[in-house]
Chain A
Amino acid sequence: MKKITYIFTIVLSILTSSCNDDSNAVETSAVEITFDNRISANQDLNLGTTAFINQNNESIVTNELKYIISNIRFIQDNGTIFEYPKEESYFVINEADPSSLTLNLTGIPVGNYTQIGFGIGVDQSKYPLDGGVMNFIPKAEEAGMLWNWAAGYKFIKFEGTFTPQGGTESPFVIHVGSHGQTLDNYKFITLPLENTLNIATGNTATVNVQTLVQNIIDATNQIKLEDTSDIQVDPVNAPRVATNLESSFSAQ
């Protein structure tokens, strides 16, 4: 009988706590994060048309730009960190698909946030994998962000043409992901928000993330496309691109 009493006690204590989520819930609201891929502060990126000149004097036109954003978190002025539920925190940003550029996040605790953090790519190194990593497969597959000879994601797909000064136009292809367990190109960045993000009940706050396309190949590391126009599973240049991605974003 003791055992039965014990079980009933446990269950009753759970019953009393299981269905009252609303009474002591933290107040939450929504945030809209917009990714704005740009040539410069003054010039928007247009696929197939707008060009920029890199430090190696190559004129570059972007035809395709996609990247994965994951593990979003918000950091308050008092240091409190809110991690968006991992399961729902995987997105493909695709310049060609305007609907992909805005992420609508809900359930963010109200407060004043001064920083935003996110991963570029997918953190495949953590064992065991969380469900988000695996349930992201169909979405990534549809966007062409999944390899089919390796079990992993392309973190960024950046393709277009480059023309060296006085030279002829040629295509370039940059696909960066992690290389098995030998090279992890996943990056997590934290960005200060130019203006404090006030999340309050009843309205949707907005964050604008600007991505400078040129920085992908021309930041900490300057990549000369004439020397290396095909960066896929490239153990030298893929990490250089991944490092550049860390300084390609800013947030307002």
Chain B
Amino acid sequence: MLSRHTFGILATAMKINYYIYVCVALLFASCKNEPYEDIPSQEAGEFQNVLLDFNIPSNFPALTYDLEANPPTETGFELGRRLFYEGRLASDNVVACGFCHIQEFAFTHHTHIISHGVDGALGSRNAQPLHNLAFQNEFTWDGAAIHLDMQPIIPITNEVEMNETFTNVIAKLQAHPEYPRLFREAFENGEINSENILKALSQFMVMMVTSNSKYDKFRRNEGNVTLTENETQGMELFNQKCASCHSGELFTDQSYRNNGLAIDPQYNDIGRARVTGFPADNYKFKVPNLRNIEVTFPYMHDGRFATLDDVLEHYRSGITDFENLDDSLRQADGTLGIPMTDEEKVRIIDFLKTLTDADFIFDQRFSEF
């Protein structure tokens, strides 16, 4: 154990060079109980601790994810990418994470109102975009996962999603011609177990940072990027009417709120209350971040709105009253909704489109092939 640990520290501390190889060779020679020592290293796969750079964009808040506890490495990230697009994580060997989280649509399920699982099973919620996850404190529409490393348990095991057991996933990956090597390259203990599966997926997902939209470049004063007059007006309107919930550079305050959507009797999805059990949390859902919102349609937890205009129209005229309706949707005179003119709606949408980040959506690092 100690020798492998030492390798990790040395490799992390300084660029791998010839002298370290010599030292490592010495270390391996020193303990006769090292596993795999008789297997040629190319076949066996060796742990490679080449860390990836994680740069927090200058306009972003602090990280939530503890990178030191699971530092993304080249091989860990690559394993995570493979697993993200791996159908074997599902009972039908087809429905991978990437089935409902499609990169071109900021990892949402394009045009699908609710997401589809194995054997044509239908879920009850719209797949959320995957980006800037390293800055989120809870996951899914109701916060049913309190740590990114644990989140994939839900889609992998849920019968209307991937409907598989971890026992089966581990067995399938162990029997695969490449995964044993990929796990050995990615993790010091080289094991195919649930911890390493989840950590590899997290290494892949935390690297998915979207921070190069027109808005970001404007914020950071990069390359003289300026917003048009319409976009600037839209940003001002957004700050007045939307930013109390869609706040900060993540465009969400990460709270759960009832935004006045009429109850869909088909699902009667109680939202946050399913996790907390508190009736006061009924029909509350997490305030979604708005980055890449132009491509993540349809909208809302159940995908009921096809366009951004529909969404803004809901906030203007479609609010259903609830006892726990969010205060921001109740005006001083008692009327419901957020007043805005037709032109103001168009300007807000002009601004929202500046949040689209083509660098991210077409980033080869995150694509299946």
Q: Residues on A close to B: CB < 8 A?
A: 3-4, 7-8, 11, 14-15, 17-19, 124, 127-129, 131, 134-135, 137-138, 141-142, 146, 148-152, 179-183, 233-236, 238
Contacts and interface: CB of A to CB of B under 8 A. Distances in A.
A15 B7 CA distance: 12
Interface string B278-312: 10000000000000000000000000000000000
B358 to A, nearest CB: 32
A14 B10 CA distance: 12
A183 B2 contact: no
B159 interface: yes
A81 to B, nearest CB: 23
Interface string B161-205: 000011100100000000000000000000001110011000000
A90 to B, nearest CB: 12
A179 B194 contact: no
Contact of A7 (B23, B143, B193, B278): B23
A11 B165 contact: no
A43 to B, nearest CB: 34
A18 B31 contact: yes
B50 interface: no
B3 interface: yes
Contacts of A138: 165-167, 170, 194
Given A134-B195, A151-B144, A141 B165 contact: yes
Contacts of B63: none
A127 B19 CA distance: 36
Q: Which of B147, B151, B159 has the most CB of A within 10 A?
A: B147
Interface string B349-362: 00000000000000
A134 B156 CA distance: 14
Given A134-B149, A179-B275, A150 B30 contact: no
26 contacts: A3-B19, A7-B23, A14-B2, A15-B27, A18-B2, A124-B147, A127-B147, A128-B147, A131-B195, A134-B194, A135-B193, A137-B194, A138-B167, A138-B170, A138-B194, A141-B167, A148-B154, A148-B159, A150-B274, A152-B150, A179-B276, A180-B144, A183-B277, A233-B274, A235-B278, A238-B277
Nearest to B153: A151
A223 to B, nearest CB: 15
A149 B6 contact: no
B53 interface: no
Contacts of A148: 153-154, 157-159
Interface string B6-23: 100010000000011001
Given A141-B165, A151-B144, A135 B31 contact: no
B253 to A, nearest CB: 16
B27 A14 contact: yes
Contact of B6 (A18, A19, A142, A180): A18
B26 interface: yes
A125 to B, nearest CB: 8
Contact of B70 (A8, A128, A180): A128
A63 B273 CA distance: 29
Contacts of B157: 141, 146, 148
B275 A150 contact: yes
A4 B19 contact: yes
Contacts of B144: 149-152, 180
B154 A128 contact: no
A134 B150 contact: yes
B38 interface: no
B165 A180 contact: no
A183 B277 CA distance: 10
B286 to A, nearest CB: 11
Contacts of A233: 274-277
Contacts of B158: 148-149
B277 A15 contact: no
Given A138-B165, A151-B144, A11 B26 contact: yes
B275 A151 contact: no
Contact of B154 (A8, A11, A149, A238): A149
Nearest to A238: B277
B122 interface: no
B146 interface: yes
Contacts of B139: 151
Given A11-B26, A127-B66, A142-B165, A137 B275 contact: no
B30 A18 contact: yes
A168 B194 CA distance: 45
Contacts of B198: 134
Contact of A180 (B20, B26, B275): B275
B39 interface: no
B172 to A, nearest CB: 13
Nearest to B70: A128
B62 interface: no
Interface in B122-149: 138-139, 143-147, 149
Contact of B3 (A4, A18, A131, A179): A18
Q: Which of B2, B31, B158, B275 has the most CB of A within 10 A?
A: B275
Contacts of B3: 14, 18
Contacts of B138: 180-181
A4 B158 CA distance: 54
B99 to A, nearest CB: 18
Contacts of A137: 153, 166, 194
A233 B2 CA distance: 44
B332 interface: no
B170 to A, nearest CB: 7
A15 B138 CA distance: 44
Contact of B145 (A15, A134, A151, A234): A151
